Amino acid sequence: ATTITTTTASPSSTSTTTAAAAAATASTPQLPGILARTSKHRTTPAAPLAPTAQRKQKPTATTEIATTAKAAAAAAATPKATSPAAQLLRLLTLAATVAGASALWSLEEGDEDCFGGDFTRHGCCSARWGLTGNPVCWDDEFTYLKCCGLGDFPRRPEDDLAWDEELRLNPAEIGETFDFIVVGAGSAGSVVASRLASKDGPDGLPYRVLLLEEGPGKAPAKEKGGAAHPDNPPDGGVWRPKLNVTWTLDDEERTWSYSTGQGAGGTGAANSMIYMRGSPSEYEAYGWSEEEVLDAFKALEAPMEAPGFVADSKYYREYNAEEDDAPGYHLSLVSATKEELPPFFRDLLKAFERGGVPHRIDPHSGPSMHGVGGVWRAMGCGHARCQPTRVPRMGMAIGRPRSSTAAAFLVPTMAKKRQRLKVLVEASVERLVFDDAKRCIGVEISLKNDGAKRDGKRRRIFYRSEKEVILSAGTFYTPKILMVSGIGERTELLRLGIPPVVHSPEVGRNLHDHVGMSIVVGTNVQCPEGYHENGKGGHTILGNTDQFIGQLYAFLNSSSDELGAKGPLDAEIMMLEGCFAGHLSIVFTVMLLQGHTRGRIVVQSRNPSTQPHVDYKPLSDARDINLLANVTARLFRSVLNSEKLAKYELNSTPGWEIISNFKRLAQWIRESLWFYSHPGGTAKVQRPNIDSNGVVDSDFRVIGTQGLRVADASVLTVSPTGHTDGPARLLGELAARAILREHSDKEASADDAQSLALSGYPGVKIPRIGFGTNGFEDDRAVKAVSKFLQNGGRMLDTAVLYNNHRSVAQGIAASGIARSGIFVVTKIPPGDMGYTEATRAIERSLSELGGQIDLLLIHWPSNFDPNAPLPRCASGSEGSWTRCRLETWRAMEEFCNAGKVRSLGVSNFAKHHLIELLEAPERKLKVAVNEIEFHPYWPQPDVMGLCRQHNIKVIAYGSTGGSLMGGAMLRVPAITTIAKRRQKSPAQVLFKWAVQQDVIIIPSSSSEAHMAENMDVLSWELTKEDMQALNAIGKTDRMRVYMPDPNEAP
């Protein structure tokens, strides 16, 4: 919201910052630079909110069966609990009793053994702390459910009875079967569904995807004013019913209402359109590399190019005026240069810079968002080939259409691939369905619209998923669906009469949000006439304007004494302008991005239509008060107290008398607290080497299940820098990639597990391990090829330049293996490029290799020898290597269409070569393969990312460094240490590193023993730690073995 409200001491009354600022102007004396320049005040640490002490007594262990039995007994004792679930719980209780589980702690009151000494029930479990308990009590032995009990958990048994009756009288009908089912068409779900529906399976058949959305199907009503406006979100049914959060301040209850979006685009179709990626390095803790994150953002966003802003290709997809309508949402950079700002704002930026916070035009062109300036907005230009633009003021962007993932991805996919994607709206997901192996096999839904009723009852349908179900229902509703389906804390599930499927205690826990407060600062700068008038007697409001800069955003570290110190970017200062009493005023909203307070989602009934209860007590962790107070004091001291701003005669609410007194400041923060509705964390990722538990892994798979993933902001264990819509979009892209990686290459039948399907060529599969014939000629080639085939190998890599086609064919004949079971790859050299020349080279290669080529590649994008003569297609005024590549590809396609060549690809293509070919309108057939140098010292993340994005398989040469390095790579300590621990050779470790990333390898050893070792890499796995150690090599020390560098080729 752009009109900031602060809650007064009375919970029933609120006042806008307009009134607060007016009061400040009237009553607060003006101070030079806000505070006395001689002040040496430093805030003191906040007193703990509860006494810290050591337990005198360790809690005694409670057996799992006892816990389950007690929970079962309580659930079964629910009045009128006569459902089959209740009967099952009674049986569980009886089973536990028979097993001798007698030491049961009270389900309602918790385990008294948790407490001792200063750790009292009241200190740890009082209502002040909510349903997570006092943070001071948190340790490995304390959980709220165990120690405090379930007595305060809200419960709706009447809804249980209604649900039991619904199940009895209205069974679900059997619906269609799909490959994938995606729940939720929000910022993440729209990306997941469209990406999956745009791909083919390994059998060459398109995936069928069902997207289920609880919201309306029609587009939301137009934004107020007729176009996208951050102050005026759309009307209509775009919001879910509100979820209220309550807490107390000085014995008075306060309430915050969460509104989350529904319908196509989710909250992204109704929010204020602020678009922030977060710092790419923040995501590494989740197991997602900085390169992978940047590549995902590039794939999501339309190419960036804006006046006054040069897009760095490292961080943005490059703009190409001739490119086709590739999916991607358009953005507008609302950010001013210093020269474009009025004097006060120029001086404000100088004050920030003196405090160590640099001004930057673009928050995303760097490894970190540290700095102050404008931000991107999810607002486009209204047409497919829109070139994103930079504007200095928000008012200049108002009127542009809103850019949501639904508009950018879902709508085009539905238009072009309707037979692949079915979207069902007003469909409420009731629960997930599992088989005995805990595989999610589908969902049960109910249709909300009256037209779908059957015999006066709402229709309930079961849809089956052949492969996976992906939950993208959001921070509040994803954990609810998991819990009503039997995935959650076992005791909590049994309390609701839900048979547990997976004991997952973190489901619904770890809820976090951005909280903060607003400081109003007045100036002596006269506002222009009519500035910020609302047409009601001259009263003015805050907002985005045409006259001055609309907003500035600063991202910084909250814990340091220095405002601009390096460190985690866990605080944001958002600056909005307004006009009070005829003078410019600025609201500085201080927001804590990575607070320590945690809440939880509580399911109140097994009835899926019952709204979840949100329990969150803001600032219950004392560290959060400290951090907000610290940022506020540093803002006053380093910025508002700057000599650069003294001439503006600043005054503020609150004044320095409050800021300089920690106790008064802490109380003011509590009284003025505001939620910013960026929740996350309720189905958190178990981060590698950091977390001991979680709900999903780094590939978004729900731990303990099969065929189920979560892709939305609920997986964010810690909130990223900035607001959460951009990260949610990223999660959708990363999840889709993880799913496609797994299913594109690993769904082949068990007897074909050693091969990968080539996308775009149905039925064509390439073995994961081949034999590289470079350097083998004549009789030596015949013997090596024959030996490799006789030892189980089935793929041969050759080329025109290797001068061994006939020898390879003779080796195949000598092996006794049928040609139909062997996969042969060859390549057209630069000297044979061009339509006529390539045609002749292919005909010659077919003749030499026996009449069939399984995979035909362009060997190099251009001459790799600077002294080699140019082919005709690259010569003369009209010649170019682009022309050569396209003419060669046309010739290759003709042979493929004629059935003489089974699949097509390239070799040594850099990213710009691949993009050129992928975007060429002349290209009709899929680029299936790129053969490149690939090893830990040269991992080529840009090329690999693009290949994964387009499902292009990679063949790696030079995996061990080759003879050019004299075996040096095989002696690297990081590699030899892993080899020794795994009892493998260093070469096997390097090959496995590639194979484990679904990269095809082509070792060139003619030793029979080495051939056997190479084939063995499919039978074992490197650990996650091994892969991380090998991946780390390329981050610090990159080196090519083979020359020249394709990145330098035209």
* Number of helices and strands in the chain (H, E): 27, 36
Looking only at the bridges linking them, the beta strands covering 904-907 and 855-858 are: parallel
- 150: its two tokens: 């379930």
Tell me the sheet residues that pair with 244.
257
Phi, psi for residue 434 in degrees, rounded to 5: -120, 150
- Cα angle 760-763-765, degrees, rounded to a multiple of 5: 85
Alpha helices in 489-621 (DSSP H): 490-495
| 512/678 Cα distance (integer angstroms) | 8
Phi, psi for residue 470 in degrees, rounded to 5: -120, 120
The closest alpha carbon to 211, from 401, 409, 379, belongs to 409
386 in Cβ contact with 404 (< 8 Å): no
196 in Cβ contact with 736 (< 8 Å): yes
- 334: its two tokens: 């609302």
- Cα angle 612-614-620, degrees, rounded to a multiple of 5: 165
Q: Is residue 802 annotated as a catalytic residue, yes or no?
A: yes
Phi, psi for residue 229 in degrees, rounded to 5: -145, 125
How many CB atoms within 10 Å of residue 581? 13
List Cβ neighbours of 708 (8 Å cut-off, separation of 6 or more): 432, 440, 468, 469, 470, 471, 701, 702
How many CB atoms within 10 Å of residue 331? 26
The closest alpha carbon to 135, from 254, 11, 46, 243, belongs to 46
955 in Cβ contact with 995 (< 8 Å): no
506 in Cβ contact with 693 (< 8 Å): yes
The closest alpha carbon to 601, from 700, 714, 701, 690, belongs to 714
How many CB atoms within 10 Å of residue 542? 25
How many CB atoms within 10 Å of residue 356? 17
Please report, as a single letter, which amino acid is at residue 639.
Answer: V
Burial class (CB in 10 A: 0-12, 13-18, 19+), 271: buried
| 598/497 Cα distance (integer angstroms) | 26
828 in Cβ contact with 862 (< 8 Å): no
203 in Cβ contact with 759 (< 8 Å): no
The single residue of 802, 835, 937, 957 carrying the catalytic annotation is 802
Looking only at the bridges linking them, the beta strands covering 708-710 and 674-675 are: unpaired
| 568/558 Cα distance (integer angstroms) | 8
- 457: its two tokens: 């009852």
CA quadruple 529, 535, 539, 541: dihedral, nearest 10: -90
> What is the phi-psi region of residue 677: left when phi exceeds 0, alpha when psi lies from -120 to 50, beta otherwise?
left
List Cβ neighbours of 152 (8 Å cut-off, separation of 6 or more): 127, 131
487 in Cβ contact with 705 (< 8 Å): yes
How many CB atoms within 10 Å of residue 129? 23
- 600: its two tokens: 């939880």
| 630/563 Cα distance (integer angstroms) | 9
Please report, as a single letter, which amino acid is at residue 662.
Answer: F
How many CB atoms within 10 Å of residue 834? 26
- 394: its two tokens: 């928000």
Query: What positions carry a catalytic annotation?
Result: 802
